[in-house]
């Protein structure tokens, strides 16, 4: 068995007038993330962790923001396509660990639903999908609620 690890990181601006999608679910909030797709920063970080582990470039390479196909795209579709790309190379996902950084709203109540969605997309048990959330203690762009950030690591395996 061959194992690889990958790391992914993403940032999106938070603005009034956009929906907030995080970890594949919509969260009620006064601001949403700005982006070409639904701007789901957590799913984007996980996509990049998986692509990175497989040495398959990054999310911007596979789903360019100049391509109208991805305008307003559901990032769950992007993650499902990433899983397919890995599958074509013989990779399956072992586990994912991630951290969301945002000041508001409180993410903890939404984490079980996010884990369920992501586990289904990655064909994993829920305990193989970890999501943590932290604030930035009012510091920086996260602390000023100007943006949201996510980091993720993933392990993939191939027989
Ligand atoms: Mg992104």
Domains along the sequence of the chain with CATH? 3-158 (3.30.1330.50)
Q: Is the pLDDT of residue 70 over 90?
A: no
pLDDT band at 72 (very low <50, low <70, confident <90, very high): confident
Separation of 130 CA from ligand 1 center, angstroms?
Answer: 19
For residue range 18-69, list pLDDT tens digits in order.
999 999 999 999 999 999 999 999 999 999 999 999 999 999 999 998 888 8
**Angle, vertex CA 58, rays to CA 9 and CA 94, nearest 5:** 70
Separation of 57 CA from ligand 1 center, angstroms?
Answer: 14
Separation of 61 CA from ligand 1 center, angstroms?
Answer: 12
Separation of 135 CA from ligand 1 center, angstroms?
Answer: 19
Separation of 36 CA from ligand 1 center, angstroms?
Answer: 8
Q: Is the pLDDT of residue 152 over 90?
A: yes
Separation of 90 CA from ligand 1 center, angstroms?
Answer: 26
Mean pLDDT for 68-95 is 95
Mean pLDDT for 126-152 is 98
Residue linked to tokens 């795209």: 73
- What is the DSSP secondary-structure string of 2-56? EEEEEEEEEEEEEETTS-EEETTEEE--S-EE-SSS---HHHHHHHHHHHHHHT-
Whether the CB-CB separation of 49 and 96 falls below 8 Å is answered with yes
Q: What is the pLDDT of residue 37?
A: 93
Question: Which is nearest to 8 in space by CA: 39, 37, 42?
Answer: 42
Bridging pattern class, strands 147-158 and 92-101: antiparallel
pLDDT band at 138 (very low <50, low <70, confident <90, very high): very high
For residue range 92-131, list pLDDT tens digits in order.
999 999 999 999 999 999 999 999 999 999 999 999 999 9
Separation of 1 CA from ligand 1 center, angstroms?
Answer: 31
Report the alpha-carbon distance of residue 40 to residue 10 in Å, rounded.
9
Q: What is the pLDDT of residue 31?
A: 97
Separation of 63 CA from ligand 1 center, angstroms?
Answer: 10
Separation of 37 CA from ligand 1 center, angstroms?
Answer: 8
What's the predicted TM-score (pTM) here? 0.97
Q: What is the pLDDT of residue 65?
A: 86
């Amino acid at each position: 068995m061959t194992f690889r690890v990958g790391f992914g990181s993403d940032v999106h601006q938070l603005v009034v007038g956009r929906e907030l999608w995080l970890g594949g679910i919509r969260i009620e909030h006064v601001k949403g993330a700005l982006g070409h797709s639904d701007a789901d920063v957590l799913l984007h970080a996980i996509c990049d962790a998986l692509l990175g582990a497989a040495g398959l470039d990054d999310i911007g390479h596979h789903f360019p923001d100049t391509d109208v196909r991805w305008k307003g795209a559901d990032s769950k579709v992007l993650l499902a396509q990433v899983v397919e790309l890995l599958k074509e190379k013989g990779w399956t996902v072992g586990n994912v660990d991630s951290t969301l950084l945002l000041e508001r709203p409180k993410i903890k109540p939404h984490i079980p639903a996010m884990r369920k969605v992501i586990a289904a997309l990655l064909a994993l048990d829920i305990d193989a999908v970890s999501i943590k959330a932290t604030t930035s203690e009012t510091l920086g762009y996260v602390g000023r609620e100007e943006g949201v950030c996510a980091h993720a690591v993933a392990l993939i395996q191939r027989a």
